[in-house]
Amino acid sequence: MKKLLVALLCMAPLSAMAFSTSWEHDLAISSGGTSVTFDQDGSEFAASHNGLSISTSDTVDIGISYSTSLLGALSGTVSLDHHADDDNVVGLETSFSQWGASITPSLDWNVNDTDFDSTVKVGYGLFGLDTYYSVNFDVDELEFAGSETGVGYTWKVSDGFSLTPNLTVPFDSDWDRGTVVAGISLNISFGSSSE
């Protein structure tokens, strides 16, 4: 596993030579059912407790969401974001996870522009290695709006502390590759999560 981690860490500098690369890291600190996260991608900050979350970023003045388990491996999230351009977006997301595989469809409704966008994300994780692929659709126009693929490896440094080097590659609606995003996710946990 350590050889795999070294290989992933080497991927990022190599990708910087071949592609336009952005370096964006994120941090998550949790204790019980409470967590605080910061992501350099969009300067997103979020605080959550037992499924209820409040967030802000470069494009969202304030966002509120609630996540809960529905049935077994099925979970759901509802959200409301007030954007910096005064648009209000209502979101609905469901996720089904089983045996390391997951599928996560979501739908966003821009109330001001009466615009609907959808994303379907599929992922698989095994022995710390996680991969995903997501497809975006403009529901109103019935058009493909782009996609994204990513890979990461979670290295558990110690109890309550892990590092995840990751790489994300976006594509636009014409299948042109966008800026590759490389980074490291730091996860710090104090105590166990409570349901």
Q: Which two tokens stand for residue 91?
A: 């979101």
71 Cβ contact partners less than 8 Å away, ≥ 6 residues apart:
none
Distance in angstroms (rounded) separating the CA atoms of residues 186 and 47: 16
Task: Identify the pLDDT of residue 141.
Answer: 85
**CATH, residue 58:** 2.40.160.40
Q: For tokens 């110690």, what's the residue?
A: 158
Q: Does residue 50 form part of some domain?
A: yes
> Residue 9, SS3?
helix
Q: Does residue 153 form part of some domain?
A: yes
Task: Identify the pLDDT of residue 2.
Answer: 53
pTM (2 d.p.): 0.77
pLDDT in tens, the chain (195 residues): 555 544 545 555 544 445 688 899 999 999 988 999 999 888 899 999 999 999 999 999 999 999 999 888 899 999 999 998 889 999 999 999 999 999 999 999 999 888 899 999 999 999 989 999 999 999 988 899 999 999 999 999 988 899 999 999 999 999 999 999 999 999 999 875 444
Task: Identify the pLDDT of residue 1.
Answer: 53
Task: Identify the pLDDT of residue 140.
Answer: 85
Nearest to 98 by CA among 76, 124, 118: 124
Task: Identify the pLDDT of residue 9.
Answer: 52
Distance in angstroms (rounded) separating the CA atoms of residues 87 and 51: 24
Contact 80/88 with Cβ under 8 angstroms?
yes
Distance in angstroms (rounded) separating the CA atoms of residues 118 and 105: 7
| Length of the chain, in residues | 195
Domain count, the chain: 1
In Å, how far are 42, 104, 142, 164 from 49, measured between CA atoms? 22, 22, 37, 23
Nearest to 125 by CA among 107, 152, 148: 152
- Domain encompassing residue 43: 2-190
Q: How far is CA 45 from the centre of its chain?
A: 13
Q: At residue 18, what are phi and psi to the nearest 5 degrees?
A: -90, -30
Q: Does residue 149 form part of some domain?
A: yes
Nearest to 128 by CA among 187, 74, 180, 73: 187
Q: Does residue 195 form part of some domain?
A: no
In Å, how far are 21, 64, 189, 191 from 194, measured between CA atoms? 38, 21, 12, 9
